[in-house]
Amino acid sequence: MPSNSLARGAVAMVLSSLAFAVMAMCIQISAQTLPNGMVVFFRNVGGLVFLSPIVFRGGLAILKTDKPREHLFRGAAGLSSMYCYFFALAHMRLADAMLLNYTLPLFIPVVEAI
């Protein structure tokens, strides 16, 4: 049913926003005692733990790609973006950092054009 799908999608978006806000709060708390690089490292370790069952189930063949250079570039860009975002979260008020995060759709067309 379309209305059911719409409601589930809306709930998923609200929960996603809540999860990002909680993550930002955790980053701000942990950044008071840990260096930024360590916060980024532990965030990525958490993602690895969460996604590792998919790799174990599908085997290493699931990671095969025809474009390794593009994937390395995307990984480096994503890691540097995460590092900068976490640095901003550690040094800004949480409300300002979340507002900055929600401006992302404004910058995507500019980055795409480049």
pLDDT in tens, 69-84: 999 999 999 999 899 9
**In angstroms, rounded to a whole number, what is the distance separating the alpha carbons of residues 93 and 25?**
10
Amino acid in position 20 = F
Write down the domain spans for the chain: 2-113
Q: How far apart are CA 15 and CA 41, in angstroms?
A: 24
Task: State pLDDT tens for residues 6-62.
Answer: 888 889 989 988 988 888 889 989 999 999 999 999 999 988 998 888 888 877 777
Tell the residue number behind the tokens 């540097």, with chain if given. 80
Whole-prediction pTM value? 0.74
